[in-house]
């Protein structure tokens, strides 16, 4: 368990964190290399130009960015724009060079947007519209890459729109290349199968690396180089001689040129800003990024990429999430990922040219699936039926027209919903509120409507609130509060609690919630007080029965955790926003509490949720040092440099072999783990234990527990605490 002192920036940060940042950068490089090649090829760019963009994002942009943990590089979300620009501007080398001119102009405007502090404009776009746009992009990616996976010549697909590409799938299945398809299908099995493998460290293995470790030997054994068409393997060519002034601005006077300038500017900036915001939530140190500075840095990187032949870059969500998960502490993680990409292009181009395009297509199909998976529809529906309606309409409009029109249609539909549900026209863009302050309390009364289109004004007001005070927000005089505002309020509450303040929300008693989701849109319904009807699931009924039989108090509802698990290793690089099914009682050694938590790894469409039942012991009347204990395996050894040094005991080799123990205060931890405690752990089933600020959590596995398993962990915790207390004279008080 690492110290949570905030890592330094700049050269001091490099000196302090180079080891962990280099490890994270290397692992991200393994993820980024195949994705950058695949994204470039799908974008109608030379494949290696995707790597060029990622190199610039790492080696150059990392030094000037306003965010510390994001990875800059090409993104799947821009594939359709890049491919569309190349095609509409003439196709081939000519279309590529003219598209580069578009990228450079859009990038200059992106720098201007950051300078003018337009970073907050991302708040104007409703989440359902943004997710709908990305889902449409996911479908477009799938519609083309499925043919590549089957070994179909990309040249035969030229000129087909998304609907035609879907209609063409049966024909491609009929004419598929069996050997190429086999490699592609095995790649898909790896991609979609690995997430089902249990284990904290297994999840850290870059899936694209595993795909390449399987696909490249398969193509070598089947001799693709001599038995398959050239389009089935990646072609780099003379990469370094192709880097030069490649941008062509001769189409600057055309409508198509400026249409794509606006698309690159809008979608690229929006995606980048949303990723920066999401990564701030995952940052273990809760640092707040400078979104405008980051936008300018990305714009500068895009100018370089566009001039020399590369794709546009953004702060990419999947690689940024992985960077945090791999233990990165500063901007040098992004820098090192660029260093390793540079080394690959200097030394390993012949190896890279052994990569089959069907494997890259499989990776992109997986990205497309993430963007447009059934789970995205379900998650949107859980927030509210109106969210799903806007989401689906945005998808349909985008597929039928283009991204700009699709987003515009989605926003118009969202406005219509808000007006029909009581939002006054005068409040659509201007926030109405009253705020007063005394020595220790801010009182805020929200009037009329708090919705996505006036959120920027509300954010300016909230930005003026000083940390460390109590904030009371009253919605009694509001008519509608939408999901975008509720999500902003949720994030503000978390950040304000971290700064030492308190926040209370009042006035929703007579509001109708559009769903049971805690952040759902709600509108005022006078005379009808909100009632919450709790219907217990079969699991909850079992837990209630267990609670009654074992003298636990039981609370089934979902509640916010806020600071409860702050700085516990289980939350490092993850989020635990809620817990439910809370069983609690007071025992001999303090308060014992079992609950079901949901650990959110990653962000946005690349977010994975792991439900875990934990047992927590708090209100302890003796001192316990901070530590983390988990079963030791191959991957814990490999990631020791990231997670922390393993504390071994020479006189207890069985314990040291069985468990990975880490913590900052090694002498105190050594005193705490007495011989009886070590023998107890040696002779019991393996378990995870974490302690932070005199609170301990125990969990048996990264999954939900049945009542009898909860009983086992509770008994384990009680026995553990009894032995720890018996060692009390040796503890640091």
Domain boundaries of the chain, sorted by first residue: 10-406, 425-524, 538-730
| Structural contact between residues 508 and 522, judged by C-beta atoms closer than 8 angstroms | yes
The residue-averaged pLDDT of 333-355 equals 96
Residue 587 DSSP SS3? strand
Residue 331 DSSP SS3? coil
Contacts (Cβ under 8 Å, ≥6 apart) of 618: 590, 591, 593, 694, 695, 696
Residue closest to 374 by CA, chosen among 358, 354, 390, 388: 388
What is the pLDDT confidence band of residue 145, given thresholds at 50, 70 and 90?
very high
The pLDDT value given to residue 65: 95
Lowest mean pLDDT among 178-187, 190-199, 265-274, 395-404: 190-199
Lowest mean pLDDT among 48-57, 190-199, 424-433, 620-629: 190-199
The pLDDT value given to residue 731: 45
The residue-averaged pLDDT of 299-314 equals 97
Residue 582 DSSP SS3? strand
DSSP of 470-511, one letter per residue? EEEEE-TTEEEE-HHHHHHHHHHHHHHHHTT-EEEEE--TTE
The pLDDT value given to residue 640: 53
pTM for the whole thing?
Answer: 0.83
Mean pLDDT of the chain: 91
* pLDDT per residue as tens digits for the range 585-616: 998 888 999 999 989 888 777 778 889 999 99
**How many whole angstroms separate alpha carbon 601 and alpha carbon 650?**
36
The residue-averaged pLDDT of 119-142 equals 90
The pLDDT value given to residue 212: 95
Decide if pLDDT at 8 tops 60. yes
| Structural contact between residues 360 and 41, judged by C-beta atoms closer than 8 angstroms | yes
The CATH topology of domain 425-524 is: Transcription Regulator spoIIAA (3.30.750)
Decide if pLDDT at 285 tops 70. yes
**What share of the chain has pLDDT > 90, as a percent?**
73
């Amino acid at each position: 368990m690492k110290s949570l002192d905030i890592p330094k920036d700049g050269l001091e940060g490099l000196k302090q964190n180079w080891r962990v940042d280099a490890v994270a950068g290397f692992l991200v490089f393994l993820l980024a290399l195949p994705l950058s090649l695949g994204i470039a090829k799908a974008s109608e760019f030379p494949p290696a130009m995707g790597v060029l963009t990622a190199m610039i994002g790492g080696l150059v942009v990392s030094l000037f960015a306003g965010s510390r943990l994001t990875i800059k590089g090409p993104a799947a979300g821009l594939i359709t724009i890049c491919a569309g620009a190349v095609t509409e501007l003439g196709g081939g080398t000519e279309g590529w060079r003219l598209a580069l001119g578009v990228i450079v102009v859009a990038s200059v405007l992106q720098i201007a947007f950051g300078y003018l502090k337009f970073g907050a404009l991302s708040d104007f776009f409703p989440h359902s519209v943004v997710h709908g746009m990305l889902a449409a992009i996911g479908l477009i990616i799938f519609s083309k890459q499925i043919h590549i996976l089957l070994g179909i010549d990309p040249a035969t697909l030229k000129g087909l729109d998304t609907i035609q590409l879907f209609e063409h799938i049966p024909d491609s299945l009929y004419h598929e290349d069996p050997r190429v398809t086999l490699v592609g299908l095995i790649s898909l099995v790896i991609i979609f199968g690995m997430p089902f493998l249990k284990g904290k460290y297994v999840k850290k293995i870059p899936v694209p690396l595993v795909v390449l470790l399987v696909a490249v030997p398969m193509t070598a054994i089947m001799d693709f180089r001599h038995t398959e068409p050239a389009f089935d393997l990646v072609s780099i060519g003379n990469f370094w001689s192709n880097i030069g002034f490649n941008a062509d601005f001769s189409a600057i006077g055309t409508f198509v040129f400026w249409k794509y300038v606006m698309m690159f500017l809008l979608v690229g900036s929006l995606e980048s800003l949303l990723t920066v915001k999401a990564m701030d939530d995952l940052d273990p140190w809760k640092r707040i990024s400078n979104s405008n500075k980051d936008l300018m840095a990305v714009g500068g990187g895009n100018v370089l990429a566009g001039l020399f032949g590369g794709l546009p870059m953004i702060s990419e969500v999947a690689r940024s999430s992985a960077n945090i998960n791999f233990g990165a502490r500063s901007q040098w993680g992004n820098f090192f990922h660029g260093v390793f990409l540079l080394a690959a292009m200097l030394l390993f181009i012949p190896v890279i040219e052994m990569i089959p395009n069907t494997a890259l297509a499989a990776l992109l199909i997986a990205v497309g699936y993430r963007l447009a998976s059934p789970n995205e529809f379900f998650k949107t529906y859980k927030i509210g039926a109106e969210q799903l309606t806007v989401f689906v309409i945005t998808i349909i409009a985008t597929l039928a027209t283009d991204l700009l029109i699709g987003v515009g249609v989605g926003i118009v539909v969202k406005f219509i919903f808000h007006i029909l549900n009581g939002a006054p026209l005068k409040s659509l863009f201007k926030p109405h509120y009253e705020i007063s302050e005394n020595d220790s309390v801010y009182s805020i009364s929200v009037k009329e409507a708090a919705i996505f289109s006036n959120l920027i004004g509300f954010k300016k007001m909230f930005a003026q609130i000083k940390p460390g005070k109590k904030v009371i927000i009253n919605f009694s005089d509001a008519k509608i509060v939408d999901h975008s505002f509720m999500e902003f309020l949720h994030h503000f509450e978390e950040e304000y609690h971290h700064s030492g303040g308190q926040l209370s929300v009042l006035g929703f008693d007579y509001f109708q919630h559009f769903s049971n989701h805690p952040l759902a849109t709600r509108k005022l319904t006078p005379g009808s007080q909100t009632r919450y009807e709790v219907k217990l699931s079969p699991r909850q009924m079992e837990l209630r029965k267990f609670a009654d039989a074992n003298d636990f108090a039981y609370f089934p509802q979902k509640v916010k955790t806020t600071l409860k698990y702050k700085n516990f290793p289980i939350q490092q690089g993850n989020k635990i926003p809620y817990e439910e099914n809370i069983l609690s009682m007071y025992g001999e050694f303090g308060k014992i509490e079992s609950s079901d938590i949901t650990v959110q790894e990653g962000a946005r469409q690349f977010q994975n949720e792991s439900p875990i039942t934990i047992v927590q012991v708090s209100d302890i009347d003796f001192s316990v040092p901070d530590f983390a204990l988990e079963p030791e395996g191959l991957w814990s050894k490999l990631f020791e440099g990231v997670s922390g040094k393993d504390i071994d005991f020479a006189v207890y080799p069985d314990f040291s072999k069985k468990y990975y123990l880490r913590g900052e205060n090694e002498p105190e931890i050594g005193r705490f783990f007495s011989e009886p405690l070590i023998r107890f752990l040696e002779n019991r089933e393996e378990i995870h234990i974490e302690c932070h600020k005199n609170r301990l959590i125990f969990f048996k596995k990264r999954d939900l527990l049945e009542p009898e398993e909860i009983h086992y962990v509770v008994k384990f915790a009680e026995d553990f605490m009894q032995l720890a207390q018996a060692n009390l004279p040796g503890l640091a008080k």
